[in-house]
């Protein structure tokens, strides 16, 4: 009965399983990019340039730096 059920429901379950797999892969890739240490360091450099050029003020810099440093610390924990 199990094989027959799989064959009958395959037209519905196969595309659904594929969509779930693709969604998981996209989430994994997005998380890896979000916590990429090299990308975070570049963002910190860009942030420092923005404050040096007067594009943002110190309060904005401090808030953004705090978020980026938290992400960098989390990335370091993920690597361990």
Residues 2-60 have pLDDT tens digits of: 888 888 888 888 888 899 999 999 999 999 999 999 999 999 999 999 999 999 999 99
* Angle formed at CA 27 by CA 21 and CA 69, multiple of 5 degrees: 160
Rounded to an integer, what distance in angstroms lies between the CA atom of residue 4 and that of residue 21?
A: 24
Residue 11 in tokens: 């037209």
φ, ψ (nearest 5 deg) of residue 56: -135, 160
The pTM is what? 0.68
Q: Cα dist. 5→9, 12, 13, 36 in Å?
A: 6, 12, 11, 44
């Amino acid at each position: 009965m199990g094989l027959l059920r799989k064959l009958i429901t395959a037209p519905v379950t196969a595309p659904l399983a594929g969509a779930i797999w693709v969604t998981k892969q996209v989430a994994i890739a997005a998380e890896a990019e979000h916590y990429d240490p090299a990308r975070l360091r570049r963002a910190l450099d860009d942030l420092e340039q923005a404050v040096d050029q007067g594009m943002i003020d110190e309060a904005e810099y401090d808030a953004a730096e705090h978020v980026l440093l938290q992400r960098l610390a989390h990335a370091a924990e993920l690597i361990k």
